[in-house]
Amino acid sequence: MKASRPRFSFIIRLTERLLADHAVTAPPVPVESIAKAMGCRVVFGSLQDVSGILVRSAEGATIGVNERQPPVRRRFTIAHELGHLLLHQGNQITYDHEFRVNLRSVESSEGQDVEEIEANFFAASILMPDAFLEADPRTAFIHLDDDAAVSALARTFKVSQQAMTLRLARLLGRKA
């Protein structure tokens, strides 16, 4: 059954449990190793304008990643497709064209498919867990318009600066 609203709390609990199960206690989160440890094949190839693809078969799931994208985007793609695998069990094949990550799409249930919102939220939650961000002293006084500070943090977590900005906005907004 397809959820009608994004299951944000459920996804946070799920990603926290995965990190604990795989003994990940600090960034960068080894998302490719986690996917493989869960029995997933991860393959890289030229996928034209598709960022990632998830194929399920009797032998298991395969995540295909566009090799032409930068490493931080490939990590986000693996996390996004792993989210589809764990959250959306009905779909045999999922193609992801250049999925966009922006604050409104992630936080609002309007204007974007619920499954895409959930997969993006899963990816952000597993790559940038709140606990890891809160444990980093740099986040306490960070300003989102401080490009150097945000990009340094993004490098620690091996995510794009854009993804980090959105995640920090959510974290700081929650505290305000």
Taking the alpha carbons at both ends of the chain, their separation in whole angstroms is 35
Burial class (CB in 10 A: 0-12, 13-18, 19+), 54: buried
Residue 70: CB atoms within 10 A of its CB come to 9
CA dihedral 118, 124, 125, 127 (to 10 degrees): 140
Distance CA 167, CA 98 (A): 19
> How many chain residues touch Zn ion (CB under 5 A)?
3
Closest CB 59 distance from Zn ion, rounded Å: 22
Closest CB 114 distance from Zn ion, rounded Å: 11
Closest CB 80 distance from Zn ion, rounded Å: 6
Residues 137-166 that bind Zn ion (CB under 5 A): none
Closest CB 115 distance from Zn ion, rounded Å: 7
Residues 19-48 that bind Zn ion (CB under 5 A): none
Q: Judged by CB, which is closer to Zn ion: 142, or 166?
A: 166
CA angle 136, 142, 148 (to 5 degrees): 95
x/- string (CB under 5 A) for Zn ion, residues 92-121? ----x-------------------x--x--
Q: Which residues bind Zn ion (CB under 5 A)?
A: 96, 116, 119
